């Protein structure tokens, strides 16, 4: 088969060059890994992009919602994507910088009833909801169905408080919660602290996937 190239650069070469600045020795493991992200909003869109850039090979994106103007202050979408399902828009955006990734999209609400089916094949469960009730539901049900599967959550990332209050904590075996644990979305959500918390979550997920946990 003829070699496929883009602007004279072979696809193989593009793939290799895209990985050159990632940490050596991680790419094989990450390319095999599967992370399911519940929520494609402020946390989820930033986490998905960070994981895709890091070389995670398989992502499942779950969100019931469509892109709205009020999302654009902190979520990784464009004006042209308003009205588009978030999971579809996020997949499009990721494929623009990394086509070497397998992305499954699921446009649904996560409930106690579908947790088992939605997360069964995932190596790590990533919680990235806005709603605190949904956060509690996913922790409760994930621990019931998959006590051995790591879950990485976000809790408390609102306002413009110190960036240093956002931390990663290991709550229990296989339960990691990132955030300041106190600031609620009603005070307003600003891109920097949302992105910091998303960074904590994505970093914890990478550590789990390459089995190099230092918290």
Partner 1 sequence: MITVNGKIDTAAHAGQSISELLKRLEMQTARVVVERNGLIIKREVYDSLLLEDQDDIEVISFVGGG
| Binding-site ranges for partner 1 (CB under 8 A) | 39, 41-44, 128-133, 135-136, 139-140, 143-144, 154-158, 171-172, 177, 181-186, 189, 194
The answer to whether the beta carbons of residues 126 and 38 sit under 8 Å apart is: yes
Minimum separation from the CB atom of position 215 to partner 1 (A): 17
Beta carbon of residue 6, minimum distance to partner 1 (angstroms, whole number): 36
Nearest distance from C-beta of residue 107 to partner 1, angstroms: 18
Q: Which is nearer to partner 1, 2 or 186 (CB)?
A: 186
> Can you read off the two tokens belonging to residue 56?
């995670």
Residue 67 to residue 71: CA distance in whole angstroms: 7
Nearest residue (CB) to partner 1, 79 versus 186: 186
Question: Smallest distance from the beta carbon of 206 to partner 1, in angstroms?
Answer: 20
- Answer left, alpha or beta for residue 96, where phi above 0 means left and psi between -120 and 50 means alpha: alpha
Nearer to partner 1, 101 or 158 (CB): 158
Q: How far, in Å, are 26, 29, 52, 91 from residue 11 at the CA level? A: 21, 21, 17, 20
Shortest gap between Cβ of 76 and partner 1 (angstroms)? 13
Element (H, E) at 9: strand 9-10
Nearer Cβ to partner 1, position 30 or 67? 67
Whether 41 contacts 130, CB under 8 Å = yes
- In whole angstroms, the minimum distance from the beta carbon of 160 to partner 1 comes to 13
Residue 182 burial (C-beta neighbours within 10 Å; 0-12, 13-18, 19+): exposed
Closer to partner 1 at the Cβ: 109 or 172? 172
Q: In what order do the strands lie in the sheet with 124-127?
A: 102-106, 58-62, 34-38, 124-127, 151-154, 175-179, 167-172
- Considering beta carbons, is residue 99 or 132 the nearer one to partner 1? 132
């Amino acid at each position: 088969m003829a070699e496929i190239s883009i602007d004279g650069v072979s696809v193989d070469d593009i793939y290799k060059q895209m990985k050159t600045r990632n940490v050596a020795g991680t790419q094989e493991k990450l390319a095999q890994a599967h992370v399911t992200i519940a929520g494609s909003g402020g946390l989820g869109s930033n986490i998905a992009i960070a994981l895709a850039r890091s070389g995670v090979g398989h992502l499942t994106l779950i969100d019931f919602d469509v892109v709205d103007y009020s999302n654009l202050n902190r979520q990784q979408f464009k004006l042209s994507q308003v009205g588009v399902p978030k999971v579809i828009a996020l997949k499009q955006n990721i494929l623009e910088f990394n086509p070497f990734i397998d992305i499954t999209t699921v446009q649904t609400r996560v409930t106690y009833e579908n947790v088992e089916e939605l997360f069964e094949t995932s190596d790590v469960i990533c919680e990235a909801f806005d709603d605190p009730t949904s956060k509690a539901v996913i922790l409760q049900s994930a621990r019931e169905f998959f006590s051995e599967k790591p879950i990485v959550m976000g809790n408390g990332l609102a306002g413009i408080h110190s960036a240093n209050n956002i931390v990663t904590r290991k709550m229990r075996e296989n339960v990691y919660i990132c955030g300041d644990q106190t600031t609620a979305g009603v005070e307003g959500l600003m891109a920097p602290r949302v992105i910091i918390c998303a960074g904590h979550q994505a970093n914890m997920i990478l550590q789990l996937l390459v089995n190099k946990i230092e918290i």
